[in-house]
């Protein structure tokens, strides 16, 4: 009964990690530093709880009752989390220095530490209860660890695929809190059974028999201290792998919420499988710390072996993805394929690394009366390694050396950790120990050499975007030949994303962020240009402009073609200005303009903390299926953005109508419409919509617009995309406010910070290759609707406009 209980406990804990992170990041911002703070705080709470409550578990006679109390406490704190988060949000948004990292750390700690400290104590408490004699410590430790890790994998998938899409964050918290209550109740009932009481008497009897015992950690001297250092380093390296693999699979599987859940599930599933094997076989190994050393070396080998195959994985997934029909039922088959791809890389390494904590518990735990403290201390050291890995790797090592070298460095570190463990903990003896030590050192040295010898990845392979499911698939040789002609001008990792710029032979540049094409010098050039020109020309006197997302810098360059006072560009990815500089030919050197200010921050965070207001807000992110982007399409964000606009200000939102269905488009437009009562929709390319919203109807000054369009820089940019007159510009409008109101009414639900509706719907639309038909079916140009700006201009000008250029013949 204990194993299923701890399985459910693991599932609930992982669910909380996902939900609480989402709730906090909704107001702290989704930047790399905010995410690192939240993740580190979560892991720090587990470490503190395991160390503190582990000692407490040794002093109570009924550890299972303690476990039940911890679970009930977590559930009660989870019930209080929603109102506490609302309070923290209001305080955070009103302190005036919202971007301060110390403020973010304080808010995160206040919310996350209390429940995670209780979570951290569950493992030592349950191990104390389960272990009836010292010889079974390793088996029980591994079995419990396996159950908890398997539960975590299940919890990741359950939360992403079921709970959040069905009921949103707040209601999902209630479900998980109810799960805590059930686990606590079952544990308490089980603690009253004769079997449970008898088991604890067995522990008391064993502790007084004077049987040979291993020294407890406080008395173990230098060797125990070294072992704790090794388990700390193992935790650091394992988290380094998780971060590097996440970055790699973002480029291959896409950055959707479902993809992240699959990656996390694969990682924890490997840990579960490894500990399940260890629970059955640990009795065969007399020296668990030496076995720990060998698992580290084998893990390093398992990490290093498939590195040459990494660039081939995108092409393989493209081929396999083409086999799935565009059918809703096939979506889950494709998700299983993604899980299998992750397991191909992760399973064996995580299987081996995951044995670390139970092996150390077996090797270092001494007197049974100190088992809780020993287990808690070991688990804490490993978790502190996770904390260090999250901060050091995610914020510094990954941007410094990149995911490729980070994986290699992790493998070498694993091998060194293993070699040190074998050298220090394998006793001297005949030729066998000496051979084992020599082999360990040789393997570590060999892996270090191989890590240098293997060719680095060709980043061009990560432009294949298998998550977009191409149906016309080239052969491997054809693909390799094509990619050989692709020049990679830049490829670098940032804490927030991988950024790459490629060029074709005829100098067509494309910007890739995490493997998806975000901007180019050709395909979506009209959209990038009009994203700035349309709202600025429609505003009577724009002075201050804010652009969310830098991209290629073309939109910023278009804004700066006007005599604006300032153009603030808010960008999450710190290295993106380096990429935008490669587009100087198309963005008119926007980054060197003194009016342009690059602000590295989350857009919500910036708008909350900004002391000044804008005349025009422009939001560039347009891929609805990307995790985290949903916060820029929520009703709360749009409502908050109104306070950042001056009277008469306009908000321009880029929204893609391809790769999303009618329901998703309606939900996105509804969220925008609830904040801005007057919404005008322009369609630029086939699938690019620009939503321009305001608090009052547009009343353009047509002669002034014509005059402003004649400014040399503005005219040059508009001519580049075949806009030669006002008629050309206005003819891009498809929908007027009353038609937009109808689209917003198609679905009764808008996208909010709580339901994250779009983030669950859009990835399925992406798989199904859906294209919304609403802009086409409701196109008001077909009937020359009098509500269109083009029609208004004709009436108010008193004479017909010139025909749009494409139709003037």
- Please report, for the domain that includes residue 64, its CATH number: 1.20.1250.20
Tokens of 84: 């506490």
Q: What is the pLDDT of residue 204?
A: 40
User: Which pLDDT belongs to residue 801?
Assistant: 58
Q: Domain check: are 11 and 70 in the same one?
A: yes
Query: 149-162 pLDDT, tens per residue?
Result: 999 999 999 999 99
Strand 614-619 vs strand 645-656: parallel, antiparallel, or unpaired?
Answer: parallel
Residue 473 reports pLDDT greater than 80: no
Which pLDDT band holds residue 205 (cuts at 50, 70, 90)?
very low
532, 558 in Cβ contact below 8 A? yes
Q: Are strands 733-735 and 678-683 parallel, antiparallel or unpaired?
A: antiparallel
Determine, yes or no, domain membership for 150: yes
| 3-state class (DSSP) for residue 648 | strand
* pLDDT recorded at residue 196: 61
Average pLDDT over residues 186-201: 71
For residue 498, tell me if it sits in a domain: yes
Is residue 240 within 8 A of residue 161, CB to CB? The reply is: no
The reported pLDDT for the residue numbered 195 is 59
- H-helix segments, 508-594: 525-538, 554-560, 576-581, 584-587
**688-694 and 645-656 strand pairing:** antiparallel
CATH number of the structural domain spanning residue 549: 3.40.50.150
> What pLDDT is attached to residue 366?
67
Q: Are residues 250 and 160 in the same domain?
A: no
Report the chain's mean pLDDT, rounded to a whole number: 90
Q: What is the pLDDT of residue 372?
A: 82
Mean pLDDT (whole number) for 728-732: 94
Same domain, 487 and 464: no
Average pLDDT of the segment spanning 337-358: 96
pLDDT band at 328 (very low <50, low <70, confident <90, very high): very high
Question: Regarding predicted confidence, which is higher, 773 or 203?
Answer: 773
Q: How many Å separate Cα 441 from the centre of its chain? A: 37
Asked if 407 and 491 sit in the same domain, the reply is no
Q: Do residues 319 and 398 share a domain?
A: yes
Q: Is the pLDDT of residue 208 over 50?
A: no
CB 302 within 8 A of CB 162: no
pLDDT on residue 802: 64
For residue 624, pLDDT over 80 is answered with yes
How confident is the model at residue 286, as a pLDDT? 82
Q: Are residues 654 and 767 in the same domain?
A: yes
Mean pLDDT check: name the lowest of 26-30, 96-100, 706-710: 96-100
What pLDDT sits at residue 90? 84
Dihedral of CA atoms 115, 119, 121, 127 in degrees, nearest 10, equals 160
Q: Give the pLDDT confidence of 231-258 residue by residue, as tens digits.
A: 999 999 999 999 999 999 999 999 999 9
Together in a domain, 87 and 21: yes
Residue 214 in any domain: the answer is: no
Give the domain-ending residue among 139, 172, 207: 207
pLDDT value of position 687: 87
pLDDT > 90 fraction of the chain, expressed in percent and rounded: 75
- In this prediction, residue 159 carries a pLDDT of 97
**Three-state secondary structure call for residue 165:** helix
Average pLDDT over residues 689-701: 96
Same structural domain, 447 and 592: no
Same domain, 48 and 106: yes
Please check whether residue 754 lies inside any domain of the structure: yes
- pLDDT tops 60 at residue 197: no
Q: Which domain holds residue 317?
A: 221-468
**Residues above pLDDT 70, as percent of the chain:** 93
Mean pLDDT of 155-175: 96
> What is the predicted pLDDT for the residue at 507?
92
Assess whether pLDDT exceeds 70 at residue 52. yes
The residue written with tokens 């709880």 in the block is 49
Say if 212 falls within a structural domain. Answer: no
Q: Which of 499, 518, 537 is where one domain is finished? A: 518
Residue 553 placed within a domain: yes
DSSP string computed for 146-181: HHHHHHHHHHHHHIIIIIHHHHHHHHHHHHHHHHHH
pLDDT band of residue 757 (cuts 50, 70, 90) is very high
Structural domain ending residue among the three candidates 182, 207, 232: 207
- What pLDDT, on the 0 to 100 scale, is given for residue 711? 96
Say how far apart CA 646 and CA 610 lie, in whole Å: 13
Nearest to 314 by CA among 457, 476, 466: 466
Question: What confidence tens digit (pLDDT) does each residue in 607-620 have?
Answer: 988 778 999 999 99
Shared-domain flag, residues 452 and 499: no
Closest listed residue to residue 749, CA positions, set 679, 675, 676, 667: 667
Relative to beta strand 596-600, strand 516-520 is unpaired
The token duo for 155 is 């919890």
CATH (domain of 323): 1.20.1250
pLDDT at 764: 96
User: Exposed, middle or buried: residue 396 (CB in 10 Å: 0-12, 13-18, 19+)?
Assistant: exposed
Q: What is the pLDDT of residue 207?
A: 38
Is 238 within a domain?
yes
Can you tell me the mean pLDDT for 129-142?
A: 74
**pLDDT at 534 > cutoff 70:** yes
Tens of pLDDT along 639-664? 999 999 999 999 999 999 988 999 99
| Whole-number pLDDT of residue 209 | 34
Number of helices followed by number of strands (H, E) in the chain? 32, 12
Q: What's the whole-model pTM score?
A: 0.92
Regarding whether 179 and 324 lie in a shared domain, the answer is no
pLDDT digits 0-9 by tens, 708-728: 999 999 999 999 999 999 999
Residues 195 and 263 in one domain: no
Query: Can you tell me the mean pLDDT for 695-703?
Result: 94
Residue 212 pLDDT grade (very low, low, confident, very high; cuts 50, 70, 90): very low
pLDDT at 60: 86
Give CA–CA dist 2/266, Å, rounded.
24
CA max distance for the chain: 106
Q: Are 29 and 605 in contact (CB under 8 A)?
A: yes
Range of weakest confidence among 11-20, 26-35, 296-305, 681-690:
26-35
Q: Is residue 213 included in any domain, yes or no?
A: no
Distance in angstroms (rounded) separating the CA atoms of residues 573 and 497: 7
Total domain count for the chain? 4
Of the pLDDT bands very low, low, confident and very high (cuts 50, 70, 90), residue 219 is very low
């Amino acid at each position: 009964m204990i194993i299923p209980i701890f399985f459910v406990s693991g599932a609930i804990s992982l669910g909380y990690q996902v939900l609480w992170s989402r709730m906090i990041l909704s107001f702290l911002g989704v930047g790399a530093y905010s995410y690192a703070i939240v993740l580190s705080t979560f892991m720090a709470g587990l470490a503190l709880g395991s160390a503190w409550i582990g000692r407490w578990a040794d002093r109570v006679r009924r550890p299972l009752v303690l476990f039940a109390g911890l679970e009930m406490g977590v559930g009660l704190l989870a019930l209080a989390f929603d109102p506490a988060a609302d309070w923290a949000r209001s305080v955070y948004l009103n302190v005036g220095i919202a971007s301060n990292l110390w403020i973010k750390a304080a808010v995160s700690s206040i919310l996350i530490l209390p429940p995670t400290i209780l979570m951290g104590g569950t493992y030592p408490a349950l191990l104390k209860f389960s272990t009836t004699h010292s010889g079974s410590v390793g088996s029980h430790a591994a079995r419990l660890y396996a159950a908890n890790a398997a539960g975590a994998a299940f919890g990741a998938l359950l939360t992403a695929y079921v709970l959040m899409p069905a009921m949103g964050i707040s209601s999902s918290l209630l479900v998980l809190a109810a799960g805590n209550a059930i686990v606590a109740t079952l544990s308490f009932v089980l603690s009253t059974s004769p079997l449970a009481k008898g088991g604890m008497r067995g522990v008391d009897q064993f502790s007084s028999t004077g049987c040979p015992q291993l020294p407890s950690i406080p008395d173990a001297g230098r060797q125990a201290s070294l072992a704790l250092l090794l388990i700390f380093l193992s935790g650091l390296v394992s988290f380094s792998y998780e971060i590097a693999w996440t970055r790699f699979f973002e480029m291959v599987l896409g950055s959707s919420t479902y993809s992240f859940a699959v990656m996390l599930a694969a990682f924890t599933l490997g840990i579960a499988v490894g500990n399940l094997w260890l629970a059955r076989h640990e009795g065969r190994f007399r020296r668990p710390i030496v076995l720990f050393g060998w698992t580290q070396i084998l893990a390093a080998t398992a990490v290093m072996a498939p590195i040459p195959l990494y660039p081939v994985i995108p092409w393989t997934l493209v081929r396999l993805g083409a086999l799935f029909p565009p059918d809703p039922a096939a979506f889950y088959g494709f998700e299983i394929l993604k899980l299998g791809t992750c397991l191909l890389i992760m399973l064996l390494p995580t299987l081996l690394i995951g044995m670390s904590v139970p092996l150390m518990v077996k090797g270092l735990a001494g007197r049974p009366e100190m088992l809780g403290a020993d287990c808690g201390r070991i688990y804490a050291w490993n978790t502190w390694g996770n904390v260090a890995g999250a901060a050091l790797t995610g914020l510094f090592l990954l941007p410094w050396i990149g995911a490729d070298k980070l994986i290699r460095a992790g493998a070498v570190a694993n091998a060194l950790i293993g070699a040190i463990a074998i050298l220090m903990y394998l006793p001297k003896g005949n030729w066998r120990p000496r051979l084992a030590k020599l082999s360990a050192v040789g393997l570590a040295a060999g892996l270090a050499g191989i890590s240098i010898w293997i060719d680095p990845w060709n980043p061009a392979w990560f432009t294949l975007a298998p998550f977009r499911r191409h149906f016309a698939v080239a052969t491997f040789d054809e693909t390799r030949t094509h990619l050989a002609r692709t020049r990679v001008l830049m490829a670098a990792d940032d804490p927030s994303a991988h950024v790459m710029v490629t060029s074709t032979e005829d100098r067509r540049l494309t910007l890739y962020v995490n493997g998806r094409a975000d901007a180019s010098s050709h395909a979506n050039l009209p959209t990038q240009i009009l994203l700035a020109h349309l709202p600025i020309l429609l505003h009577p006197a724009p002075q201050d402009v804010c652009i969310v997302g830098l991209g290629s810098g073309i939109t910023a360059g278009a804004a700066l073609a006007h005599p604006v006072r300032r153009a603030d560009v808010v960008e999450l990815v710190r290295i993106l200005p380096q990429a935008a500089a490669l587009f100087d030919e198309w963005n008119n050197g926007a980054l060197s303009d003194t009016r342009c200010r690059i602000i590295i921050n989350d857009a919500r965070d910036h708008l909350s903390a900004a002391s000044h207001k804008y005349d025009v807000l422009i939001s560039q992110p347009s891929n609805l299926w990307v995790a985290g982007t949903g916060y820029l399409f929520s009703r709360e964000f749009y409502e908050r953005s109104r306070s950042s606009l001056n009277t008469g200000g306009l908000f321009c939102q880029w929204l893609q109508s391809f790769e999303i269905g009618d329901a998703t488009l309606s939900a996105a437009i509804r969220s925008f419409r609830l904040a801005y009562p007057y919404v005008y929709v322009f369609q630029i390319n086939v699938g690019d919509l620009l939503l321009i919203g305001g608090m009052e109807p547009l009343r353009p000054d047509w002669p002034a617009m014509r005059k402003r369009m004649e400014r040399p820089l503005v005219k040059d940019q508009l001519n580049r995309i075949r806009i030669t007159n006002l008629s050309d510009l206005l003819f891009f409008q498809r929908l007027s406010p009353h038609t937009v109101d109808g689209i917003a009414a198609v679905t009764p639900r808008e996208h909010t910070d709580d339901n994250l509706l779009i983030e669950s719907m859009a990835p399925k639309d992406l798989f199904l290759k859906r294209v919304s038909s609403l802009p086409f079916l409701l196109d008001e140009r077909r009937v020359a609707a009098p509500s269109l700006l083009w029609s208004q201009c004709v009436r108010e000008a008193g004479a017909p406009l010139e025909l749009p250029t494409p139709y003037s013949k």
